[in-house]
Amino acid sequence: MIEAFKNGGGNGKPVHVQLTLSYDRSDQEAANGALHQWRSNLLSPEENAELHLPEQFDKKTEHITVDEIKQKMLITSSLEHCLDVIQQTMELGVENVIIHNVNRNQQLFIEDFGASVLPAFKEHKGETII
């Protein structure tokens, strides 16, 4: 995709990538958080357009599993795994990685990423991590 961007007129422009994940202290809590917060994002735009009430979203998404969500995002309790994924992403020629944690445990995310992940990427070949 990055190569297509560069070939399609983006050559020389910065590449920004959003990394969507669900992080928590255990894999199970991370999976539960992703399922609770993100399952409606697996519906098609047409399906979502027909839903108006929380109960409708709940009913329409009750069949969605954690395994289906794992195909769309990183679900983890491992900061080391997060570091590896960010590093691999940056090695593709990405200037900025925007981390989007879908888990509601934001305080834990901020504390743990602030202490362990951000310092590792504060300065990476002049590139930044957000």
pLDDT tens digits, residue range 34-72? Answer: 999 999 999 999 999 999 999 999 999 999 999 999 999
Predicted model pTM:
0.84
Residue-wise DSSP of 64-78: --HHHHHTTSEEES-
- Mark 82-110 as b/e (b = at least 16 C-beta within 10 Å): beebbeebbeeebbebebebbbebeeebe
Per DSSP, the residues of 100-115 read EE-SS-HHHHHHHIII
More confident residue, 54 or 120: 54
32 by Cβ neighbours in 10 Å (0-12 / 13-18 / 19+) ranks as middle
Average pLDDT over residues 24-39: 96
